[in-house]
Amino acid sequence: MKYYSHSDSVSWLEEYKARHNAGLEAQRIVASFSKRFFSEHVPCDGFSDIETLGCPSHFFEDELMCILNMEGRKGLTWKYYAKKILYFLRQQNILKNLKEYLQRPTERQSFLEGAVLIDQYCNPLSDICLKSVQAQVDDITDKVRKVLRTKNPRHPSLASKAGEVLVPEVELQRQVLDAMNCVLYEQLKYKGNELDYYNSLNSYIHQVLIRRTGIPISLSVLYLTIARQLGVKLEPVNFPSHFLLRWCQGKEGSTDIFDYTYIDAFGKGKQLTVKECEYLIGHHVTEEFYGVVTSKEVLQRMVGNLLNLGKRESTDQSYQLLRDSLDLYLAMYPDNVQHLMLQARLYFHLGIWPEKVLDILQHIQALDPSQHGAVGYLVQHTLEHIERRKEELGPEVKHRSDEKHKEVCFSIGLIMKHKRYGYNCVIYGWDPACMMGHEWIRNMNVHSLPHGPHQPFYNVLVEDGSCRYAAQENLEYNSEPREIPHPDIGRYFSEFTGLHYLANTELEIRYPEDLELTRATVQKIYSSGKE
């Protein structure tokens, strides 16, 4: 009902028809994605028909949610592509909101709202909204007021409109900060996450509120927001290696760094002098690093942290965090050559959206002609990639009846266990012998195996979210088959039966004789009648 006004005269029959047609359109598009994008990542231009929808977007989203919420272990491929489409739609909407936020006057750019926008963009399928986050912050603020009331019942921050008027005296401001430290760090047990500092959850404000831990910048945004709601103006300081806040002790707007006390929200709200700030990071810094920064610069640092984490994540083979944080950075700084080049290299590495790579490279060349060497190299190889794609004759079909495949023992959809490493996995492809290059074979020490590279190798989705290439002699049937929680499971399989996975149409085309063998194998191994 949030899409309708109570004062409007609505034709509910017409609304129902619109919802019904949106549902049919969503189902048609989702069904088409498997055939169109099975052999590659869904490129952003793959969503072009969604951008020109002839139906209300909230009806379209509603149908996607219905697909995602289908009960049971069926419809895995539909769920996989519905999730990707919903991810795209929500990110596009959040990006529009971010650009609108950045165009506002600085005084109307809330630090909390900026943090929520970053959180939403990186987690578009989570239920995150500014209203909910603000309500949680308000709840903490109310707790601070209760503590403050016991210390000073007549404190100006206890007024209902506190926050609109700044608390004038330094001593009264100190009482607010003391009450904040009591609530945040003693009562609610917030703390800096020293043990798992490089976890991306530390950067997402909704997770900071749930887990009560974070990194300096995320905890600083929370601390600053609460202080301002209580009439104490704290300002963000882009201090190297450790984000801080500053609190003016002298004349407002002073440019003397010694007129400020610096607050470490990561360190339980500890108040620091200039010299103590340098002790914190272990070296001297110039005065410019003690200056206040804008909300856009705060967001830049938050996104920069996520970019660095995205580069570190080796298990995420789609580099989703790196892609999302690059999108955010380039939304703020669209002409940054360094990050444009990183985006072009990333798409090139993943083999996705070559036409977009060419657009980015053209933009880089216009901005900085000195990049012509790197640009030329990528342009040449991207054009070769486009030509190879045009020459592809279709999917390679592997028949088990072929003589060269007679040594292949396992089939698509079987739940396996690795004999050496113990991980659970499901087979989604196989080769009669190792098809990797000499360097991979050497690095993986394949020649130390009794049968070396001259045995069947299997593409497997692993329960930890990785994709691996395993030798036949290292795999065995899993005595207790279970679902494999891999993000790409729906790309290859339509259903989990409880004992094995059923290949979807596109995978079955490539391995047409595997399904019957998988069923026969399962019947033979698990004869307890579960299936």
> Residue 391: what pLDDT?
73
Query: Is a pLDDT exceeding 90 seen at residue 296?
Result: yes
378: pLDDT confidence band, cut at 50, 70 and 90? very high
Residue 349 has a pLDDT of 85
Distance CA 264, CA 270 (A): 5
Residue 47, pLDDT above cutoff 80: no
344 token code pair: 């072009």
Residues 94, 121: Cα–Cα separation, whole Å: 6
User: Is residue 512 predicted with pLDDT exceeding 80?
Assistant: yes
Determine whether 465 is exposed, middle or buried from the number of CB atoms within 10 Å of its CB (0-12, 13-18, 19+). middle
At residue 36, the pLDDT reads: 76
Write down the pLDDT at residue 386. 82
Quick check: 242 pLDDT over 70?
yes
- The lowest-confidence range among 3-12, 159-168, 202-211 is 159-168
Computed from CA positions of residues 128, 129, 135, 137, in that sequence, does the dihedral angle turn out positive or negative?
positive
317 vs 339, residue with greater confidence? 339
pLDDT, one tens digit per residue, over 248-282 is 988 888 889 999 999 999 999 999 999 999 999 98
Report the length, in residues, of the chain. Answer: 531
Backbone phi and psi for residue 425, each to the nearest 5 degrees, phi listed first: -155, 170
Span 313-326, average pLDDT: 79
**Predicted local distance difference test score (pLDDT) of residue 531:** 41
Q: What per-residue confidence (pLDDT) applies to 356?
A: 87
What integer is the mean pLDDT of 30-57? 70
DSSP string, 446-491: GGGSTTTTSS-EEEEEETTS-EEEEEGGGEEE-SS------TTHHH
Look up residue 294 and give its DSSP letter.
-
Cα separation, 296 vs 489, in Å, equals 38
Nearest to 487 by CA among 318, 259, 323: 318
Whole-angstrom Cα distance, residue 500 to residue 30?
24
Mode of pairing for the β-strands spanning 457-462 and 467-471:
antiparallel
Give yes or no for residue 244 having a pLDDT over 70: yes
DSSP per-residue codes, 207-230: HHHHHTEE-HHHHHHHHHHHHHHT
Q: Are 451 and 473 in contact (CB under 8 A)?
A: yes
Query: Is a pLDDT exceeding 70 seen at residue 446?
Result: yes
Report residue 82 as tokens: 């519905």
pLDDT at 45 over 70: no
CB atoms closer than 10 angstroms to residue 85: 21
- In this prediction, residue 153 carries a pLDDT of 93
Q: What is the mean pLDDT of residues 119-135?
A: 95
Has residue 317 got a pLDDT over 80?
no
Contact indicator for 297, 67 with CB cutoff of 8 Å: no
Q: Which residue has the tokens 């200056």?
A: 291
Q: Is the full-model pTM beyond 0.85?
A: yes
What mean pLDDT do residues 15-30 have? 91
Contact 261, 273 (CB under 8 A): yes
Express as a percent the part of the chain with pLDDT over 90.
Answer: 73
- Position with higher pLDDT, 185 vs 42: 185
β-pair type (213-214, 493-496)? unpaired
**What angle separates helix 372-391 from helix 354-367, to the nearest 10 degrees?**
160
List, as one string, the DSSP characters of 337-383. HHHHHHHHHHHHHHT--HHHHHHHHHHHHHH-GGGHHHHHHHHHHHH
* Interatomic CA distance for residues 219 and 224, integer angstroms: 9
Is the CA virtual torsion 373, 377, 379, 380 positive or negative?
positive
Q: Residue 530: pLDDT band by 50, 70, 90 thresholds?
A: very low
pLDDT at 167 over 80: yes
Mean pLDDT value of segment 35-55: 65
Mean pLDDT of the chain: 90
Residue 314 has pLDDT above 70, yes or no: no
**Is pLDDT above 60 for 484?**
yes
